[in-house]
Each structure stands twice: as C-alpha cells, then as structure tokens.
Chains A and B, each alone.
Chain A
C-alpha cells in the first residue's frame, strides 16, 4: 500500500517565521484526503512539499518509507505524483488527447472516454473547451500517468456546482476504485464531505478534523 509520510515538517518563507510548523502525517493509498484551511494558511505549500515542487526548511517527506530527495524530486514528480490545478494548466497548443499523451502510461483515449469527453471534444484545442471539460482533461492527464498519488489544488474552484460534484466523484472513484492516494486542497465543504479524511491547517499545524 502506497504511503506518503510527512515527518516533522517545518517551512518558512522568512527566517524564523514558519508557515508550517512540525507537521507529521501519514497519507495512504485508496483514500481521498481533503485539506482545509483559511487563505494563506499553507495548504498549497503543503501540497508543493508532497509533490516535490519544493523542499521543507526542516523535516522529511517520505514515499513508501524513502525520502523523496533520495532519487531526486524530478524522479518523484515523474513517477509518484500527478498534479491537478484549479486553473487546469493544460498545454494550450495541444488537444485534450495530446495533453493526456504527454505522460500517459495508460491508453489516453479510454481514460478520456471514462471521464465523459466525447470524440469531437478530445481533438479540439483545449482553449475551445468549457471549464468542466478542461478540468476533466486535466484529471484524465493525471489518471493516465498512472501515478499512485494525485494532488489536487482547488480542482473545483472554477467550476459550477454540478460539474464540481462530478469532478469530486471522479477523484473519489480514483481513490476507492483505483487505489490512488488523492489529496485535495479545497475550500469546498462539499468536497470535504466526500473525503475519507479531512485535514485542517491552522496556525501552521495540521490536524485531523473530526466528522
């Protein structure tokens, strides 16, 4: 079972001023985690540390017991992590299928089909798709890479309620059916409701919220 472990993590942008302070947590595959917190509380920073986009000031991030810096952060990002962003971050000169094919280890067409994108939509320029379609394409890209961990930063932030619900369902399915460890940073109470575990960052500390 995949585990992503935060071990005594400290992070500061300024010397002595820690945005994350002595955070420890163990995240498992097959579960959907929601990370809540007010703006500027350090949610995205936490996601960056988990995704190997940044390194902690102090402490370690372990993937299956191994420090993610051991083989390099690039290796960690390439092999263990898939990122989903609020602004989709699709490559604008590629079609959805080409975006998915960028790092696909699975059949891109079937993943897109599973996420409900039609044949004519997958070969259209991504900028000509709706927000929901773009986010579906972004999630398809994350799923097709076959990474064991999916990190999503406000994935429903730009979407209407119905589409947000559909996207949350897809993420939940990824965790429960495909065994992925899905970590979603969100402000959305609806997403938090669907999560298996809700974590909250408050004053630099991470706590599991009782449900």
Chain B
C-alpha cells in the first residue's frame, strides 16, 4: 500500500484529529497570511508614497568652501545717522554657477524626475495693476512684484507640487526668450491675454529703479493658484502669489542688468524614489560638466520620511509579529505532533515489523499533515482576507496617530517653498489596501510546508530512534 493511500486512510478515518489539526493549521495560517498581507500592502503603500512624493536634494554653491566665492565690499564702514552705527555692505556671489546646460545634464541622470531652479528678483512693470498685499511694503517696492527667471516652468516646484496649475497657454522652456507666464487673475485685472506683451525697463543702478532701456515680454501662459493666503495672513504686494510672474532666465538676468549672474546658485532636484537617494546623488556627483569644487549637495528626504514613518513603523511591527507567529506556530505544531506521534507507537511498531522503512513511515506522517494543510491553507485565503483588512487598517491608524503625536509640529505645516509663504499639509497615507493575493497564498504554502517538514521530522525523532524491538516491547 502506498504512503499516500495510508495517509489518506488515516486522515479520513481519524476525523477528530483531522478536524483538530485543520483548525490549528487554519488559525496559524490565518495569522501568518494576515501578517504577510499587511506587510505586502504596507510595502506597496510605501512604494506608492515614494513614487508620489519623490525624494529631493538641493545642489547649491558651497558658500563656505568654494574657491569661486567672491565677497565684494560695496560700502565700507558707512555711518548710519539714524542708528548712529557704522556698517559694511558687501556682495557675495560665486563666479561658477549652474547653467541651463548643467540642469539638462542633471535631468538626464537615471532616477532623476526633474530639477528646478529660480532666479528671483523684484521688478516693476509699466502700467501693470497689481493686487494689493495685506501689509504695506517699503516705498520703493510698492509697485514691484516677484519675478522668477526659470529654465522651465513645468519642472518648477510650484507647478510640480500642484501649488500652481497652468490653465491656459504653454510652459516656459529653456529655448524661450522674452516670454512670461502670469496668473489668470492678474491677466483679468489688466485685461491681458495670451500673446499680449507686458513692458518693463532694464534696471538702472543710478536711479535704483527700472528706468533703463525698455523691454517687452510676451505672455505665453496663465496659471491659477490652488491655494490662497489665509485670512489675517500678512502678505506684501510682491509676495502675493497672484502678482508673481515667471520669465525665462535670460530675460530675468537682462532686466536686472545683472553683470555677475549668468545661471543659478542652487537647483532643487526631485528623484523618482527617495529610497534611491544615495545612488542618485552619487550619479549626479559624477557628472563631469559640474565643477564640484563650487557646489555641494544637500539631500532632503524629510517629507518622505515623515509621511512614510507610520508605514515603516507598521512594517517593522508586522515583520516582528510575523516572525513571532511563525516561531510560536512551529513550536505549538511540534509539540502537538510529538504527542500524537507517541500515541502512534503501536502503529509504527507494526509497520517496522513488516519491514516498512522508517523514511516511509515519516513520509506517511508528513503526507497526512500536508493533506490537512492543503485544505486548511486554502481555507485561510478567505479567513485571512477578512482578518487582514480589519487588522491592517487598525494597526495603521494606531501608527499614524502615534507618529502624528511625535511629529505634531512638523505635520502641522510644511513650507512648500521659501519664496512663497504658502502652507501645505504633510501628505499621509490614509489607509492601505490589504487583501490576500495569490502570491501571499503561495508564500503561506511555502512557509507552511517548510515548517511542517521540519516539525514532522523533529517530532518523529524520538520514536524513530528506537529499535523495532524496543517499540514492540513498549506496545505490550
């Protein structure tokens, strides 16, 4: 008679033991499957979060160590009558800057999603009616607004984070010259349309105003801000987001009559996966077009780390729980099977006296447990699905709550951009989709079968070490 037939007869005739072992294996499998499913769902949610948030690092002039940094004194020991004190004024800049070509090279690095840089200045435009701020600015700044010189607006933080949306026209690209994107509100206030021009003058240092040669900039796009300042918030006229104007870098440099700057002193780089921060930073550092004596890199994974913290904590908790459940399950199963093997000493003795090999007897015991396990593990697909959804979200809720308490100051508000004082809430995962997939089920079969093989072998040792005669004498 084959091992399988003997095992089948045992499982079908010893119904009490079969039902008990089925229940034990079902409970164990449900626990393990729940753990695996939550772990996998948490991993998937982390990946999703990573891809949604991306990682960021900032490349900027190394102001402390760069040999290209120049400190130019403009006013030396000047006496201020108002304060009665003397002061120095100086200009600090780097002679080596990041050019649009450098940015293009950074964008070509694998894993880099996009990079954005801005050349910011306050510019006065002719006949442009601006929205008033909530606080008054200095006299000479009252008719100026913030102008951002960029290579490309599409990859600018304000657009990539959804703070601004291009609602009409097109983005500024690195090939564009003398173009601008303004807010739809500002366009409406001034009855401007795409294709129209706004006029300014090149900065004249003698007048400290934009009184030089006339410059015309064509509007190629309109944006809509998705956030507005809160009531009571203090915003100057030039900080008001509706007044902001994006222009191409060359225009920004020219209008400011800037003899020093030809590029950017800093660039923000966003990568696909924050987990690959080190590789991305290392790849960018290997770019030969950038002189790394002038620049340094500062990684910023804080937003991702804070948002992913509850998931990471959940993941850690689940992995520990999973390990404990697997070990405890194996121990319980080993104890039960050892006891049951001892009750089968009579049967083992008879088989041995018939010349049935010990390996065939262990094989039968193994087949019996595996037959029951196939059924119990299959059933755990349904019980695991119910348990995993409930437990997964309950655990995540607890972790989110704990993390929010830990990081309340951070989670309350994150500044979206240093140039624009807009508050932005920290992105979080509100729930994870936990379900038992076929891969999880396959894993439970694999883990379960390995445990069963080990446990059945261990539980058989005590009896199988005995000689047939010793077993038969114990039978008497």
Residues of chain A within 8 A (CB-CB) of B129 are: none
Distance between Cα atoms of A73 and B347 in the complex (Å):
19
Contact (A77, B1) CB under 8 Å given A53-B467, A54-B467, A94-B9:
no
Contact A89 B355 (CB under 8 A): no
Is A145 on the interface with B (CB-CB < 8 A)?
A: yes
Residues of chain B within 8 A (CB-CB) of A89 are: 346, 349-350, 353, 475
Q: Mark out the residues of chain B between 6 and 56 whose CB falls within 8 Å of any chain A CB in the assembled complex.
A: 6, 9-10, 13-14
Q: Mark out the residues of chain B between 435 and 476 whose CB falls within 8 Å of any chain A CB in the assembled complex.
A: 467-469, 472, 475-476
Chain A: CB-nearest residue to B358: A74
Contact B357 A74 (CB under 8 A): yes
Residues of chain A within 8 A (CB-CB) of B352 are: 53, 77
Is B356 on the interface with A (CB-CB < 8 A)?
A: yes
Is A103 on the interface with B (CB-CB < 8 A)?
A: yes
Q: Mark out the residues of chain A between 67 and 100 whose CB falls within 8 Å of any chain B CB in the assembled complex.
A: 73-79, 81, 83, 87, 89-94, 98
Chain B: CB-nearest residue to A101: B1
Contact (A102, B354) CB under 8 Å given A53-B469, A93-B13, A93-B14:
yes
Is A51 on the interface with B (CB-CB < 8 A)?
A: yes
Chain B: CB-nearest residue to A84: B353
Distance between Cα atoms of A91 and B7 in the complex (Å):
12
Contact (A103, B353) CB under 8 Å given A53-B472, A54-B469, A93-B14:
no
Is A22 on the interface with B (CB-CB < 8 A)?
A: no
Interface residues on A, range: 20 to 34
Residues of chain A within 8 A (CB-CB) of B13 are: 93-94, 125
Residues of chain A within 8 A (CB-CB) of B353 are: 51, 53, 77, 83, 89
Distance between Cα atoms of A19 and B65 in the complex (Å):
96
Residues of chain A within 8 A (CB-CB) of B467 are: 53-54
Contact B355 A81 (CB under 8 A): yes
Contact B9 A75 (CB under 8 A): no
- Nearest CB in chain A: distance from B356 CB, A: 7
Is A48 on the interface with B (CB-CB < 8 A)?
A: yes
Residues of chain A within 8 A (CB-CB) of B476 are: 87
Chain B: CB-nearest residue to A83: B353
Contact A91 B468 (CB under 8 A): no
Contact A98 B355 (CB under 8 A): no
Residues of chain B within 8 A (CB-CB) of A51 are: 353
Number of interface residues of B (CB under 8 A): 23
Distance between Cα atoms of A51 and B352 in the complex (Å):
11
Most buried by B among A91, A92, A98: A91
Residues of chain B within 8 A (CB-CB) of A94 are: 9, 13
Q: How would residues 113 to 137 of chain A score, 1 for a CB under 8 Å from any chain B CB and 0 otherwise?
A: 0000000000001000000000000
Chain A: CB-nearest residue to B347: A91
- Nearest CB in chain A: distance from B26 CB, A: 23
Residues of chain B within 8 A (CB-CB) of A79 are: 355
Residues of chain B within 8 A (CB-CB) of A90 are: 350
- Nearest CB in chain B: distance from A125 CB, A: 8
Contact B1 A76 (CB under 8 A): no
Residues of chain A within 8 A (CB-CB) of B356 are: 78, 102-103
Q: How would residues 390 to 411 of chain B score, 1 for a CB under 8 Å from any chain A CB and 0 otherwise?
A: 0000000000000000000000
Most buried by B among A93, A94, A101: A93
Chain A: CB-nearest residue to B10: A93
Distance between Cα atoms of A81 and B468 in the complex (Å):
14
Contact A77 B14 (CB under 8 A): no
- Nearest CB in chain A: distance from B398 CB, A: 48
Contact (A98, B469) CB under 8 Å given A78-B354, A89-B346:
no
Residues of chain A within 8 A (CB-CB) of B14 are: 93
Distance between Cα atoms of A94 and B14 in the complex (Å):
10
Q: Mark out the residues of chain B between 348 and 367 whose CB falls within 8 Å of any chain A CB in the assembled complex.
A: 349-357
Chain B: CB-nearest residue to A103: B354
Residues of chain B within 8 A (CB-CB) of A87 are: 475-476
- Nearest CB in chain B: distance from A65 CB, A: 20
Contact A76 B354 (CB under 8 A): no
Contact A48 B355 (CB under 8 A): no
Contact B468 A53 (CB under 8 A): yes
Contact (A98, B9) CB under 8 Å given A53-B472, A78-B356, A79-B355:
yes
Chain A: CB-nearest residue to B470: A54
Residues of chain B within 8 A (CB-CB) of A77 are: 352-355, 468
Chain A: CB-nearest residue to B353: A83
Distance between Cα atoms of A93 and B15 in the complex (Å):
10
Task: Please tell me which one of the listed residues B1, B349, B475 contacts residue A102 in the complex, with CB atoms under 8 A apart.
Answer: B1
Task: Please tell me which one of the listed residues A54, A75, A93, A145 contacts residue B354 in the complex, with CB atoms under 8 A apart.
Answer: A145
Contact A103 B350 (CB under 8 A): no
Distance between Cα atoms of A126 and B353 in the complex (Å):
19
- Nearest CB in chain B: distance from A56 CB, A: 12
Q: Mark out the residues of chain B between 297 and 355 whose CB falls within 8 Å of any chain A CB in the assembled complex.
A: 346-347, 349-355
- Nearest CB in chain B: distance from A109 CB, A: 15
Chain A: CB-nearest residue to B467: A54
Distance between Cα atoms of A77 and B350 in the complex (Å):
11
- Nearest CB in chain A: distance from B476 CB, A: 8
Contact A48 B469 (CB under 8 A): yes
Contact A75 B355 (CB under 8 A): yes
Chain B: CB-nearest residue to A147: B355
Contact B9 A93 (CB under 8 A): yes
Distance between Cα atoms of A145 and B351 in the complex (Å):
13
Distance between Cα atoms of A60 and B356 in the complex (Å):
23
Residues of chain B within 8 A (CB-CB) of A53 are: 352-353, 467-469, 472
Chain A: CB-nearest residue to B357: A74
Distance between Cα atoms of A83 and B354 in the complex (Å):
7
Residues of chain B within 8 A (CB-CB) of A103 are: 1, 354-356
Contact A76 B355 (CB under 8 A): yes
Residues of chain A within 8 A (CB-CB) of B469 are: 48, 53-54
Most buried by B among A75, A98, A125: A98
Give 7 new A-B contacts, CB below 8 A, not counting A75-B355, A102-B356: A53-B467, A74-B355, A83-B353, A83-B354, A91-B347, A93-B10, A102-B354
- Across the A-B interface, give the 3 residue pairs with the lowest CB-CB distance, nearest first: A78-B355, A77-B355, A93-B13
A residues with a Cβ closer than 8 A to B are 48, 51, 53-54, 73-79, 81, 83, 87, 89-94, 98, 101-103, 125, 145
9 contacts between A and B (CB under 8 A): A48-B472, A53-B467, A53-B472, A77-B352, A83-B354, A89-B349, A93-B14, A101-B1, A102-B6
